[in-house]
Amino acid sequence: MDTFFYALFILSLLFSTRGADDDSSIVSRFQRYLQINTAQPNPNYYEAADFIVSQAQSISLHSQTLEFVKGKPVVLLKWPGSNPNLPSILLNSHTDVVPVEHHKWTHPPFDAHVDGSGDIYARGSQDMKCVGLQYLEAIRRLKSSGFQPLRTVYLSFVPDEEIGGHDGAEKFADSDEFKKMNVGIVLDEGLASPNENYRAFFAERSPWWLVIRATGAPGHGAKLYDNTAMENILKSIESVRRFRAAQFDLVKSGLKSEGEVISVNMVFLKAGTPSPTGFVMNLQPSEAEAGFDVRVPPTADQESLEKRIAEEWAPASRNMTFEFKQKVSVYDEFGKPVLTATDSSNPWWTLLEGAVKKVNEKLGRPEIFPASTDARYFRQLGLPAIGFSPMKNTPILLHDHNEFLNQAEYLRGIEIYESIIKAYASFERTYKR
């Protein structure tokens, strides 16, 4: 009997030598990252950067902190490949998270509380601190297994994605440091999947923030006459509404996914002549304005939408004008639609599919991301970029209250990245775009 317990003791010692690699240490490192409050508008970027650098040091990765804008560090980690001439792999993630409404959370959003079923509650658990640390954990495992990358693997932890990425990924992608990295493929964030297939994103919609303006002769509120500003803007709003309904019908009928249609939502309506008690009620105003958030997939016909705006939504024939507060082109620097191929012409896509399959998992049909991510700055340069956050059987809770990720899903995601990074870093063929 004594020998039996002695054997158990030895066995337990053997298992405890797994140390840094057992599931609870992996989860606790994730919790530590989640506990750093990097919520906009005052993200604690330096604490996050220190944490990432310390993690990198613990697995002997080179680290460098770039500060294109003061107070907004980009942490760049490097795992050198044995053939530095081959284009490198970039694993990108953002360190900031969106704000929280504390009182709407069941568990405090920066506690990273794990409940009885293993759900880890925290802002950033899905978007996207999970991905940033999963990259690191996957590399930790690959290193300890003795794997040597052929291609150099970079990890970037960038600020400000949630406020447009202009001081983060945009400056990074434009930098000399980035050029020197000779990046061949970028992985960035995707979305959770409520079913058993993982989701991958090959493009995203471009925001067109449109303001249309109508002018007309002012007049008495009792008089019917043509070409009033209000009448003109209403005709446009009707036309926009019909277009919106037709696009939405395509989604509702299942013919297209959310990311594949042009979405239009009216975000403001400005008209009327103010009075001390509200608006003047017997006067037809001479000006009216409406604003729309339009999202355009790169697969859409940009010219025909422009024509529709000029001829139907804000026609000069009805005294209307329009301007864009923001208009991101659906074309890249080379005049091609900003999208990453998801067929055999793109070996990185094939490799990703294969690597996911290898660990007995499935990808759904590749999708267009319905909103914007930092991936656009890399695709804009003509680089392939795939949005992928390995979370399946998980409700989509990014930017929502009670954002959580189950720890089993988190751990599974590390295995998926292990497979992907291994496939990418071993890929020998010189890839020509």
Interacting residue ranges for Zn ion, rule: CB under 5 A: 127-128, 189
Q: What is the DSSP string of 322-371?
A: EEEEEE--SB-TTSSBSB---STT-HHHHHHHHHHHHTT--B-S-EEESS
* Phi, psi dihedral angles at 52 (to 5 degrees): -60, -45
User: 132 or 297: whose CB is closer to Zn ion?
Assistant: 132
Min dist. Cβ of residue 157 to Zn ion (A): 12
How long a stretch of residues is the chain?
433
User: 93 or 232: whose CB is closer to Zn ion?
Assistant: 93
Region of 118 on the Ramachandran plot (φ > 0 left; ψ -120 to 50 alpha; else beta): left
User: 137 or 189: whose CB is closer to Zn ion?
Assistant: 189
| Residue 332 appears among annotated catalytic residues | no
Min dist. Cβ of residue 169 to Zn ion (A): 11
| Residue 188 appears among annotated catalytic residues | no
Residue 399 marked in a binding site: yes
Residue 103 marked in a binding site: no
Reading the block at residue 293, the tokens are 């958030």
User: Which entry of 119, 137, 161, 204 is annotated as an active-site residue?
Assistant: 161
Min dist. Cβ of residue 360 to Zn ion (A): 27
User: 189 or 409: whose CB is closer to Zn ion?
Assistant: 189
DSSP letter (8 states) at residue 181: H
DSSP letter (8 states) at residue 34: H
Alpha-carbon dihedral angle through residues 149, 152, 153, 156, given to the nearest 10 degrees: 160
* CA nearest neighbour of 263 among 153, 393, 371, 412: 371
- In the three-class reduction of DSSP (H, G, I as helix; E, B as strand; rest coil), residue 33 is classed as helix
CA distance 261 to 251: 8
Min dist. Cβ of residue 271 to Zn ion (A): 36
Reading the block at residue 357, the tokens are 């399959």
Residue 177 marked in a binding site: no
- In the three-class reduction of DSSP (H, G, I as helix; E, B as strand; rest coil), residue 125 is classed as coil
Catalytic residue ranges: 96, 161
- Provide the annotated binding site for Zn(2+): 94, 127, 162, 189, 399
